[in-house]
Amino acid sequence: MVGKCGLLLLLSLLAVPVHAAVYKWTDSSGQVHYTDQRKEGAQAVDLPEPSVYTPAPVPSATQSPGTGAGDAAASDYDLLEISAPTQDETIRNNEGKVTVGLRLEPTLSQGDVIELFLDGEKRGELSSGGGTLSGVNRGSHSLKVRVVNASGQELISSQAVNFHLRRESKLFPNKPKPTPLPAASP
């Protein structure tokens, strides 16, 4: 336990901005100690220069996601959002097709591309109005889109939209439909 305390003391000394001398010594019971005061039999410990962390600048609230203050390409887009499907919408489609609607302001510039991601994997490109996603398996999914320029740099991205796709059961593909009850006679 004391060894851990000594290590903790050493680490805390590394965090001190001034570079003071540190000494290491072992007592009669074999425990190692560290101190900043010279003691008979203590050895000076060479410590590396302290590390200094400078955090990255925080982007301003006016910057769109995916663009930083130092990015080479500034985004001329004000808005990119998925209008269909809506958040947590349940879609019933036996072919696994999902209609994707987009809202992009201003319209897509020449040379820029809208990329579509399903569950984090790129599934293709869309026109500025949206399109249809095919081959989606049943279950819950996450959908996201982004606009990139010709060099592949992200200009703006949408918030992720989660949706749920339901398909007819493979166990009962021809499940009989309920028949309406006959009208009651007077």
What are φ and ψ of residue 74, in 5° steps? -85, 145
Range in 126-130, 139-143, 177-181 with the lowest mean pLDDT: 177-181
Q: Which pLDDT score, from 0 to 100, does residue 185 have?
A: 64
Sign of CA dihedral 14, 16, 22, 24: negative
Q: Which pLDDT score, from 0 to 100, does residue 88 have?
A: 93
Q: Which CATH class is domain 79-166?
A: mainly beta
More confident residue, 170 or 79: 79
Rounded-to-integer distance, Cα 33 and Cα 172, Å? 74
- Mean pLDDT value across the chain: 79
**Domain residue spans of the chain:** 2-45, 79-166
Q: What pTM, to 2 d.p., does this model score? A: 0.52
Q: How confident is the model at residue 172 (pLDDT cuts 50, 70, 90)?
A: low
User: Does 29 have pLDDT greater than 80?
Assistant: yes
User: Does 90 have pLDDT greater than 80?
Assistant: yes
Q: How confident is the model at residue 54 (pLDDT cuts 50, 70, 90)?
A: confident
For the chain, what percent of residues have pLDDT higher than 90? 30
10 Å CB burial of residue 38 (0-12, 13-18, 19+) is: exposed
Q: What is the mean pLDDT of residues 28-50?
A: 85
Q: How confident is the model at residue 63 (pLDDT cuts 50, 70, 90)?
A: very low
Rounded-to-integer distance, Cα 87 and Cα 162, Å? 5
DSSP, collapsed to helix, strand or coil, labels residue 32 as strand
DSSP-assigned beta bridge partners for residue 130: 101, 127
- Residues whose CB is less than 8 angstroms from the CB of residue 47 and which lie 6 or more positions away in sequence, other chains included: 13, 14, 19, 22
DSSP-assigned beta bridge partners for residue 26: 32
